Amino acid sequence: MDEVLRRVLVIDHSRVVRSALAKHLRDHFEVREEADGESAWQTLVLDPSIIAVVSGAQLSRLSGYDLLARLRINKLRRLCDIPFLLVISGHETESDRQRAREHGVTDFIERGMPRQEILARIGRLVNWELANDLAPLPPPSRAGNAANKAAAGKAPAGVIDAGAIGHRLENALALQASTSGMVGVIAFNLDNHADLVTRFGWETASAVAAHVAHVLQTKVGQGDSIGHDERGLCLIISPGTSLASCTAFAQRVCRGLANSQVGIGGEFFTLQVSAGIAGMPADAERSAAELIALASQRLALAQSAGGNRVVNDDGTAPGLGFRPEYFTELLRFYCPQTANLQLGAVGLHLMPLLKTLDREFRFGLPLHEIERSFERRAREEHDGR
């Protein structure tokens, strides 16, 4: 039953492309297909079982990038952080791919890519059955000697010591200064780490945190670095990654772990993590050490606000509502020059916000009329291109 409910939405104007992708995926996922962006949007809104989108860029009614922009500003977490894999030809330059990432593309699928590679790329983003990865731990030791303590705090394979992560970040900052200018820093920790220490001891709490770091290591990109320290803090350095992409990834981690349990001495506990995010260019003019400290401070804010959340600026938990920077990014996408602003499309993107404001403040706005006007204008703008 669980496999049936794991759905991937495939969108492309070509039936041949859709059929080829569906053939690759159907043994592992239930596949839904749409030929245009507007129909795909309606499907995503109505079907909460869809866990990922595989889409071409050139779609009728609503392009792939327009659909992506609409998803990334949505107030529903399942939509704003949904993995979005763009189907490409394979001839795109790295700058083309970087621009796509800036707009929120999670990964790419090249036409003709082998089946196993397609499944691996999607699986890395959507396979969050972490109870299978977090094997039950042995009963906690009461010895608590220094040797056991050191072993428990050791970073797992593929994860470097957090003390070395600053050097990786310095290198990333130097490299990105001459390229995209974007570097993401994500700080994770278990919200209940202190409770685990109290109940089971330092060794067991550190072992659980190390398990989580190991799982996260399988989820990060090839160019990313991940570090882990004895306090359970996990740091991820992601060069060339936008704030929006870091936020979407962190939200998937929080949601995925919240649905998992770890066994300790015959008891099972729900895992809950929070994340703090910092990076360039949003947090400009900061050193590597300052960016790490800022991400850690925002992690503390997330935990003090109740946990199981993500904070990417001082005091704001994204994914819980409309964020101004998403609108700024939307305007940058639609409007390289003010004269080219597509007001109808922008208005449609703003409808969820208008509906929320109308409900909260009881303005009595004629929402149906407003939405019809935006739709009419959007059609005129599309036909006039």
CB 275 within 8 A of CB 256: no
Instruction: Please give the pLDDT value at position 107.
Output: 87
Q: In 3-state terms, what secondary structure has residue 161? A: strand
Give the whole-angstrom CA distance, residue 346 versus residue 329.
Answer: 11
Give the whole-angstrom CA distance, residue 270 versus residue 227.
Answer: 23
Identify the helix (H) or strand (E) that includes residue 110.
Answer: strand 107-110
Question: Which alpha helices (DSSP H) does the chain contain, by range?
Answer: 2-5, 15-25, 37-46, 64-72, 77-80, 94-102, 115-126, 130-133, 146-152, 165-176, 193-200, 202-217, 243-258, 288-304, 324-334, 343-361, 367-383
Cis peptide bond upstream of 281, omega within 30: yes
- Residue 160 pairs in a beta bridge with 227
Instruction: Specify the CATH number for 2-126; select among 3.30.565.10, 3.20.20.70, 3.40.50.2300, 1.20.140.10.
Output: 3.40.50.2300
Spatial CA neighbour of 320 closest among 88, 76, 29, 70 = 76
Compute how many other C-beta atoms are within 10 angstroms of the C-beta atom of residue 56: 22
Identify the helix (H) or strand (E) that includes residue 183.
Answer: strand 183-190
CB 45 within 8 A of CB 19: no
Task: Give pTM, 2 decimals.
Answer: 0.62
Identify the helix (H) or strand (E) that includes residue 263.
Answer: strand 261-264
Q: In 3-state terms, what secondary structure has residue 88? A: strand
- Per residue of the chain (385 residues), what is the pLDDT tens digit? 344 457 999 999 999 999 999 999 988 899 999 999 999 999 998 888 898 999 999 899 899 989 998 888 877 778 888 899 999 988 888 778 877 887 788 889 998 899 999 998 888 787 765 544 455 555 555 544 444 444 444 554 456 666 677 777 877 777 765 566 778 899 999 988 888 888 888 888 888 888 888 888 877 877 788 888 777 888 898 887 777 778 888 888 888 787 777 777 777 777 788 999 998 887 877 888 888 889 989 998 888 888 888 888 754 444 333 444 455 555 555 554 544 556 777 777 677 778 877 777 778 888 888 888 887 887 776 666 5
Give the residue extent of every domain in the chain: 2-126, 130-311, 335-383
φ/ψ (deg, to 5) at 185:
-125, 120
Give the whole-angstrom CA distance, residue 174 versus residue 323.
Answer: 29
Instruction: Please give the pLDDT value at position 219.
Output: 79
Compute how many other C-beta atoms are within 10 angstroms of the C-beta atom of residue 12: 24
φ/ψ (deg, to 5) at 76:
-80, 125
b (16+ CB within 10 A) / e for 241-258: bbbbbbbbbbbbbbbbbb
Instruction: Please give the pLDDT value at position 289.
Output: 86
- Angle value at C-alpha 157, between 154 and 158, nearest 5 degrees: 120
The structure tokens 């208005």 sit at 347
Pairing of the two strands 107-110 and 84-88: parallel
Q: According to the CATH classification, is domain 130-311 in 3.30.70.270?
A: yes
Residue 161: CB partners within 8 Å, gap ≥ 6?
155, 227, 228, 229
Give the whole-angstrom CA distance, residue 212 versus residue 204.
Answer: 13
Compute how many other C-beta atoms are within 10 angstroms of the C-beta atom of residue 177: 11
φ/ψ (deg, to 5) at 93:
-80, 165
Instruction: Please give the pLDDT value at position 177.
Output: 58
CB 291 within 8 A of CB 283: yes
Residue 76: CB partners within 8 Å, gap ≥ 6?
none
Compute how many other C-beta atoms are within 10 angstroms of the C-beta atom of residue 380: 10
Give the whole-angstrom CA distance, residue 209 versus residue 230.
Answer: 9
